[in-house]
Amino acid sequence: MVDDGSKQPESDVPAPNVNETEKKQSVYEQLQNHPHFQKIKNHHFWHQSEAFWNKCPKWLKYVIIILLILIALKILFSFFAFLFAKKSTGPPPVPVVVAPVQQMPFPVYIPALGTVTATNTVTVKTQINGKLLRVYFTEGQNVNAGDMLAEIDPRPFLAQLAQFEGQLARDLAFLENARIDLQRYKTLYAEDSVTQQTLATQESLVKQYEGIVRLDQAQIDATNLNLFYCRIVSPMNGRVGLRLVDPGNFVQTTDTTGLFVINMVTPITVIFPIPQDNLPQVIDKMTVNKTLRVEAYDRTKNQLLSLGALYAYDSQIDVTTGTIKLRASFTNDDSHLFPNQFVNIKLLVDVLENAIVIPTAAIQQGAEGPFVFLANPDNTVKNVAITVGVSNDNNTAVTGAINLGQKVILQGAEKLRNGSKIFIPSNATNATNATNATNATNATNDKKSKKDEKNDPKPKSDSSTKTKPDKHEIQKQFMKKENHVQPDYSSILI
């Protein structure tokens, strides 16, 4: 190879690639010529920004660039911190409310809707025709048997009585004269001075006058009875209602409304139907001479009105409804029950000893059946399958892998899964502690009253004792809410 002497000096820097440089320039030119880029450059804001940037001093340009870099770094740091925290901590704990699992005697009730009925009801009507003269009662007053309630004008009957007594005196005189003549005719007939026909006629006349006298006496007795009916008296003990007829009106025996109505409300009864499927259980309890307790509540089922006992059931089942009517008696000394009042009835038919009881709201429904969430000591939950038994108010007796002292999730279960983390707010903890304290107090009171119920098994009214218990205390004993210890019902079925 011939060396022409024009050899250039070697250099350590490689020569640039002409093709790559031209390619970059062509791409930049394409970008400059792109329609969207041209629109941006032609925009008024772009020209203002470019003019502002060109007029800015160099130090201000450095400050703006540094601020933009810091903002970008902050955004990137926050994004990666969020991703790292999400991967490391997982979902946050779920706030829940818990309730303790309790073991207690659990009452079994049959609920029903009953109607209060008076033990006896009498519509007082007049038994004679006359003017209603006076009324001696106050509307709504409690009356006793024999009390005079109203009076009908007796003057027409007094006049009749005087008339009939005068007729009786006249007819008695005729009778006496006829008897004297008969005695004379007998003497003359013995002497053969008169005929036998004359004697027989006189004997018939005496009998005729005797009949007239008896008729007069009967008329007097009837008039005396009408005078007795002028005084309207109470046929029984009870409460008289509003009067239906005011004094001054003429009343008759054909009137259909009557004068007023008297209801015996002490004691009082409640009639209520139960399903025919529950009838054998009720009959079995009554057959062995056990009194079944009946509790009457108001419309809202929050206020206990009275306690009573079941004593009768109907002789046949209503085929249209499939129910049978029962009647319970209440002393009603406090007058909380009123005729025709609708009440909610709870018939106590059994008591489950040592039953596991949880709030009904804690029971969840799943594809495999009912279950509950149990709170673990490490603030996690697990779902446990249960078998639901009878329910009473807000509590339910259950069976399953749950024990006394464990805690079930009462609120917040819709956000939980098996193994989810939870935390219990402080207010929920305080509420649970307050409930436990109340349960302990009620349990002590129930133990004290257990001996009294055994000595007198029949339910009594609050006013039957010298010291009337507080109505709210009765509600605590017989109407228990969720997380609430039930009283000792072992002495109720006697």
For residue 26, what pLDDT is reported?
Answer: 62
Taking the chain (494 residues) in runs of 10, the rounded mean pLDDT of each run is: 45 50 58 60 59 73 83 85 62 85 89 94 94 93 94 95 95 94 90 88 93 95 95 94 94 93 94 93 84 91 92 92 94 92 92 88 87 88 88 85 87 84 70 46 43 43 40 42 41 40
Specify the 3-state DSSP secondary structure of 54.
helix
Burial 374-396 (b: 16+ CB within 10 A, else e): bbeeeebbbbbebebbebbbebb
For residue 342, what pLDDT is reported?
Answer: 94
Q: What is the CATH number of the domain that holds 341?
A: 2.40.30.170
Q: What is the CATH number of the domain that holds 203?
A: 1.10.287.470
pTM exceeds cut of 0.85:
no
CA–CA gap between residue 8 and residue 5 (Å, rounded): 9
Q: Do 201 and 298 belong together in one domain? A: no
Alpha-carbon separation of residue 384 from 3, 226, 314, 370, 414 (angstroms): 97, 81, 45, 9, 15
461 neighbors 331 (Cβ within 8 angstroms): yes
343 neighbors 297 (Cβ within 8 angstroms): yes
Q: Do 300 and 416 belong together in one domain? A: yes
CA–CA gap between residue 233 and residue 212 (Å, rounded): 34
Domain around 186 = 154-229
Residue 311 lies in a domain: yes
Q: Do 65 and 206 belong together in one domain? A: no
Residue 294 lies in a domain: yes
Q: Do 201 and 299 belong together in one domain? A: no
Q: Do 329 and 375 belong together in one domain? A: yes
Please provide residue 327's backbone torsions phi and psi, each rounded to the nearest 5 degrees: -125, 130
Indicate the number of domains in the chain: 3
For residue 40, what pLDDT is reported?
Answer: 57
